[in-house]
Every structure is written in C-alpha cells, then in structure tokens.
Amino acid sequence: MLEVKDICVSLGRRPVLSDLSLRLAPGEVVAVIGPNGAGKSTLLSVMAGARQADSGTALLDGAPLASVASGDLARKRAVLSQSHALSFDFAVRDVVELGRAPYRGRPEARHDGAAIDASLAFTGAAHLAERRYTTLSGGEKQRVQFARVLAQIWRTAPCFCDGRYLLLDEPTNNLDLAHQHGTLTLARELASQGAGVLAVLHDPNLASLYADRVVLLERGRIQADGSPHDVFRADLIEAVYGMPVSVLPHPSRGCPQIMPA
C-alpha cells in the first residue's frame, strides 16, 4: 500500500493540501481530478517521495516514505511527469534503459535487456527502438517515456509489475484522442498485472472510463473518493467546478459521462 495520512502542505502562507488522507493499493487505477490549483500535482509529489509534507505521514508498505532508501524507492515506484525535456540525441532504446539505473550493480541487472524489450513492446514502441529520441513526435515521445518508467518497475514473473506503483502526472496532456485512450488503456493493463496506478487527470470523462476510483480535490481537500458512479454526480461537479453539468451514461460502457448543461 502507498498511502498518505493527514498530510498538510503549504506554499508560504497558502495551504495547498489540508489534512488529506489517501491510499493506493496494488491492482487498482485511481484518478485524481479537480480544478486548476486544487493540489493534484502536489499530492502526487508527496506520494512519490519527491516532497515532504509539512505534517502528516506518507507510507510505503507500512514504512515511512522518508525512511526508504532512494534506490529501494526507485525500484518500487516510478513517476511519469508532465514534461520530458531531453536534448541529447539518444536512441530510444537508450532512453528506456535509463529506467534501469536503480538496478545497476544488483543481481536484477541481468534482466535489463528483457525489461527494456518488454517495456518497449508493451507500450507499442518497439519499432522506435533505434530511432533518435529528438526526431520523434509528441505522442511517440510519450510512449517512450512510458516505456522508461515501466522498465524502472519491471520485475520477473509471475506478474511483471506486481506490488509496484506507477504515478502519472497528467499523462494525457498534449496527446490526441487515440493516444489519450492508448495511454490509459496501458495503465489499466498494468493494474491487471498487479501495479497500483495513480493518475492526475483533467478530463473527468477519461477518469470515468478507466479508473476504479476517482478522488475529487478542491482547494487541497478531498470532496469525494469512490467509484465513478459515486463521484460524478451533477450537483457535486457543479459545486466544485462552478458550472452546471449533465451526467449521462456512456452508450456502451454505462459509466457516467459529463457534459456542460
């Protein structure tokens, strides 16, 4: 379990997260949504161990996150950030290999090649392996970066990411429709392989289609945490986002979809 308990974070005198508690379990996809400035990315950074809360506790499998050695943490969880600035003219395979850095000098390093190949294949980027990263389109770069973080948490059978955690910070930004759905389909498949996936999303309809649970944030506090059917209620969405909406079932999946009223 990756969890935070009663965390508070402030920037100067402005509270960003207030008494917030959240759990992420292996095998589930949790989507975090909310208006701009709700604290979504800050929450992800605390759960990733990249930022310490001012108060409260962050735990990884029951151990305080701050006490987990950096190498152990890197092998247990991976983070796909919003931006992927990389100006060196690396081959795609070399970029994915960066994800295996936490295994250098360890017995697991003998699986590096298999992890890289499996990650490229899983993300549909195997045909890009010898391409130069700087020549790729935005969607192709996203797939390569997804392969990199997957290689970081890849493990041997029975499930290649069982008990690992993947944190995605707005992974569908700047992607076309097909790549948005492709990225979240991969997240769902990783959860079926035993990973716990937390995704910060702007689009509630994508969250409804792919998440087991939706966490709705507003001004650093959780307003709702539950299934898409529990969270996507017209009155609640209108109260948080400040606009009237209609909530209708998806024509084939039945999950709620939100439209401006």
Q: Are 209 and 184 in contact (CB under 8 A)?
A: yes
How far is it, in rounded angstroms, from Cα 102 to Cα 160?
16
Q: Which pLDDT value is given to residue 208?
A: 97
The fold of 2-260 is: Rossmann fold (3.40.50)
Residue 158 pLDDT greater than 60, yes or no: no
Q: Tens digits of per-residue pLDDT, 204-246?
A: 999 999 999 999 999 999 999 999 999 999 999 999 999 999 9
Domain boundaries of the chain, sorted by first residue: 2-260
Q: Tens digits of per-residue pLDDT, 25-47?
A: 999 999 999 999 899 999 999 99
Q: Which pLDDT value is given to residue 176?
A: 85
pTM: 0.92
Q: What is the mean pLDDT of the chain?
A: 92
